[in-house]
Amino acid sequence: MPHNKIILMTPGPTLVDYDILLAMAQPTINHGSPEFEELHKTVISKLKKVFETEGEVILIPGSGTSAMDLALRSVVRGKSKVLVLKAGYFADYLAKGARLLGADVVVEEAPLGMGFSPEALEDALKKHGDVDVIALQHVDTSTSVANPISDLAKVAREHGSRIIVDCVASAGGMRSNLDGWGIDVCFTGSQKALGTPPGLGIVAFSREFSRELEAQNKSLYFDLDMLRKEMESTKNYYVTPAVNLVYGLDRALDLILAEGLEKRFERHRFMASLVRSALMEMGVELVAKEGYRADTVTAAYLPRGVEWSSLYKEMRKRGIEIAGGLGELKGKIFRIGHMGQVGYNELISTIAALERSFNTLGYEVPLGKALTKMQNILASRSE
């Protein structure tokens, strides 16, 4: 299988549409020009729609982790007490980031495969007393666990705590209703459910929190005051925007808004259930427990006798790139991304390659069975 025929089914970066790639190939222009200023404003206003906020949005050159760093700086001040709700590997990033900003960080870890119910959050808040900031992942890509953000934000509001949500693996594929749910700040990267290449960090604030925004824990690169001014107009130069990636993001946002947020979220829910059905049909155990399963990524345990490195190679031979485990789950699980511009056809090819790869590696599954399951589900739905 030639390298350029491999379908990208990792949970970030994700498949990028050809016209997004081509949009990025437009000539680089001056970030201070009226054309770029206009484009940038448009992109920010489209991002506000995706995050359902009338508050501010910051777009910087960087990875999702850069957005996390900047976002944390907006809520962590002095000796803030930060409660991190851990449902996977990326909670460690939140805890590390907050600690490095001087916060008093406490971590509550959910059992593997579980997220946090409102009751679990209530318990954690009782246990830890006054908590200034609650920090968690919407979806932890490492476990494919999703947290019920809407309910958790409600608890945060009742307790007067700020809530900061890592939407890296959800924004654009699952709802992030900042103003409606009362999330103070969330952040993401361009390369996940937004379906753009990696290299842009995005931080979104609720309308309410935007009014109270003060720069805290400033660093040279993450200077919220200066970045806010730049967002008002790219003529207010502070850091040079990643012009060509912004072209790509603009096109991606057009695709997202043309599809419609509700329809897009529904498509992600459906894709996730399709993948899970197929995996379960193959007797594969999912990492995330029912009720806490993400719509954007699915993590599953490697069947007995199947090694990750062999599965990765066999899948690539068959033209599919999937991801392995991170941290403690390294070598134990595999992960399939189904977000952004990924569609049913890529999922069918992925499950087909998985059936054949499993058989080659000695884990025998009836060829075509999981695919037939998918076919029945797809055919029963008005296509």
Nearest-angstrom CA–CA distance, 170 and 192: 8
What is the closest distance, in whole angstroms, from the C-beta atom of residue 240 to its own copies in the complex? Answer: 4
Q: How far is the CB of 239 from its own copies (least distance, A)?
A: 4
**C-beta closer to its own copies: residue 4 or 382:** 4
Q: Which is nearer to its own copies, 60 or 83 (CB)?
A: 60
Give dist(CA 117, CA 154) in Å, integer: 11
**10 backbone dihedrals φ, ψ, rounded to 5°:** -80, 155
Instruction: Work out how close the CB of 22 gets to its own copies at its nearest, in angstroms, rounded to a whole number.
Output: 6
Q: Rounded CA gap, 110 and 253, in Å?
A: 34
Helices (H), 146-260: 149-159, 178-181, 207-212, 224-232, 243-259
Alpha-carbon separation of residue 35 from 31, 309, 318, 352 (angstroms): 8, 47, 44, 46
**Six-digit token string for 269:** 């829910």
Task: Please list the residues that pair with 139 across neighbouring strands.
Answer: 146
Nearest residue (CB) to its own copies, 182 versus 248: 248
Of 53 and 191, the one with the shorter C-beta distance to its own copies is 191
Nearest in space to 145 (alpha carbons), one of 176, 175, 116: 116
Nearer to its own copies, 182 or 197 (CB): 197
Closest by Cα among 3, 76, 39, 54 to 245: 39
Q: Which two tokens stand for residue 374?
A: 């998918």
Helix 261-281 with 369-380: angle, nearest 10 deg = 150
Number of H helices, E strands in the chain: 14, 14
Residue 353 C-beta-side C-alpha neighbours within 13 Å: 23
Q: Which residue number, 15 or 370, has a Cβ lying nearer to its own copies? A: 15
Give the C-alpha separation, 336 to 177, whole Å.
25
Write out the H or E segment, with its range, that includes residue 7. Answer: strand 7-8
Structure token digits, residue 304: 């007995």
How big is the chain, counted in residues? 383
List of residues contacting its own copies (CB under 8 A): 3-4, 6, 8, 10, 12-16, 21-22, 24-33, 35, 60-66, 68-69, 72, 93, 96-97, 100, 189, 191, 197-201, 218-222, 237-245, 248, 316, 321, 323, 326
Least separation in angstroms between residue 12's CB and its own copies is 7
Cβ-based nearer residue to its own copies, 33 or 372 = 33
Which residue number, 141 or 176, has a Cβ lying nearer to its own copies? 141
Whole-angstrom Cα Rg for the chain: 21
Comparing CB distances to its own copies, the nearer of 10 and 74 is 10
Which residues make beta-bridge pairs with 299? Answer: 335
